[in-house]
Amino acid sequence: MSHRPLIRCYVLVLLLAFGHSFSSAEPYLNTTKRFSINITAPWTTATIPDPTAELFLRCDPTECGPKVLLSFGAIFDENFRTGTLADFLKYTNGTSITQEIKNLPMVAKVRLVREGPRKVGKADGYEVLSEITVKDGRKRMRHTFITFNAGYIYSINLGCPPDAHEHALAAAKPILASFQVN
């Protein structure tokens, strides 16, 4: 008896399973701000009234813990149309970003945890990890990823409780890896 039909059936099942898991990605394309990502589980889109971001994603609390958000924002600055990441970093770094966060009305204190170069998708970028203490004493982590292209400055922010940060970052990595400028 030939095992070829059984092997073909097994290969077909594997291909269908791979195709099914791949098709679970929901593409997001912002033609105005010229970027795209693939939204994958455990993340879903969220509607939050905040004009500073183009898109908010919420992580399933059973996967990432409570109140884990990922936001994507982009602004255009003509001065950076032909600039490099090094040019941009002359004006922005972890200290300047944490100072901006500290100026928010609900923030009592900000501590810079780390900063440095980091890929955002295939683009060169920069990361800033901060611990925020809110005025009521609660703490949150804010992990900011910055990159830019043709004058657009992209800011991706992961916000979560400190004890959920590592797991939330691991859950966000596939989305961060899918980031593309268009």
What span, in angstroms and rounded, lies between the C-alpha atoms of 157 and 138?
Answer: 18
pLDDT beyond 70 at 110: yes
Q: Binning pLDDT at 50, 70 and 90, where does residue 81 land?
A: confident
Enclosing H/E stretch for 110: strand 107-120
pLDDT-above-90 percentage for the chain: 65
**Whole-prediction pTM:** 0.83
Neighbours of 29 (CB within 10 A): 12
Residues β-bridged to residue 132: 110, 140
pLDDT beyond 80 at 13: no
pLDDT beyond 80 at 10: no
The predicted-structure confidence for 115-155, as pLDDT tens digits, reads as follows 999 999 999 999 999 999 999 999 999 999 999 888 899 99
* Structure tokens belonging to residue 141: 């982590």
By three-state DSSP, how is residue 176 classified? helix
Q: What is the pLDDT of residue 9?
A: 33
8 A C-beta contact, residue 129 and residue 115: yes
The predicted-structure confidence for 14-37, as pLDDT tens digits, reads as follows 333 333 334 478 999 999 999 999
The residues, ordered by sequence, that sit 6+ positions from 168 with a Cβ below 8 Å of its Cβ are 59, 64, 65, 68, 158, 160
Helices (H), the chain: 4-22, 61-64, 85-89, 94-102, 165-178
Average pLDDT value over all residues in the chain: 86
